[in-house]
Amino acid sequence: MSTATLEKKQLEQLAECICVCVKCPLHTSRTVAVPGDGSTSSKFMIIGEGPGRDEDRTGHPFVGASGKYLDHVLEGSGMDRSDFFITNIVKCRPPNNRVPKAIEILTCTSNYLFKQIELVDPKMIILLGGTAVKKVLGFKSVEEARGRVVESNGRKYMATYHPASRFYREDLAERIEKDFGFIRSELKKCD
């Protein structure tokens, strides 16, 4: 079996484990888990915070209102979601969309997210929102990371606000769209 085939199989097995996972309390509040969309051949990765109501219902990441806005800014910057492996810090929806707790984040990332990153081995990872930025880069806020490429543990990252944030802070839409313009220009250099 080739390395690529083996990695593809491992990624699929990881998704199967996520779908039946009961390792943290979030399994009690989910309808279905949301492992992520994409494959080991995805060049880039997007990591958000956790599934929302529509994601919890369908099993796919970023399919609700914030997903539609993500598609809009990707298209506006000349990109498409098929260019990315898209997933979240936690794979099960927290009750009432609350921010995931530290133990839930630790359990889910150590069992799943970091293995997904290893298997996809993306050229660039886009972090959406404070939860992803804090967990993956150890920064205090999105502001510390946006507008530049951050190198950490041999990988490259860029960050912007979570698309959902523009629904309660209208002023962030302009910053998110500007950040995606920058992200596009940096991803072009990776092609």
36 burial level (CB within 10 Å; 0-12, 13-18, 19+): buried
Contacts of 31 (CB under 8 A, 6+ apart): 56, 57, 93
Of 1-9, 105-113, 144-152, 179-187, which part binds ligand SF4 (CB under 6 A)? 105-113
Instruction: Report, in Å, the least distance between residue 136 CB and ligand SF4.
Output: 16
Single residue of 14, 33, 158, 159 touching ligand SF4 by CB under 6 A:
33
Q: What is the C-alpha to C-alpha distance for residues 69 and 65, in angstroms, rounded to an integer? A: 6
Angle at 162 (CA atoms; ends 45, 125), nearest 5 degrees: 20
Determine if 21 is a binding residue for ligand SF4 (CB under 6 A): yes
Task: Decide whether 33 or 74 has the Cβ nearer to ligand SF4.
Answer: 33
Q: Residues in contact with ligand SF4, total (CB under 6 A)?
A: 15
Per-residue CA distances from 9 to 5, 6, 82 (Å): 6, 5, 20
Near ligand SF4 in 134-173, by CB under 6 A: none
Near ligand SF4 in 35-94, by CB under 6 A: 90-92
Single residue of 74, 108, 124, 127 touching ligand SF4 by CB under 6 A:
108
Q: What is the C-alpha to C-alpha distance for residues 145 and 48, in angstroms, rounded to an integer? A: 15
**Interface with ligand SF4 by CB under 6 A: which residues?**
18, 21-24, 26-27, 33, 90-92, 104, 107-108, 111
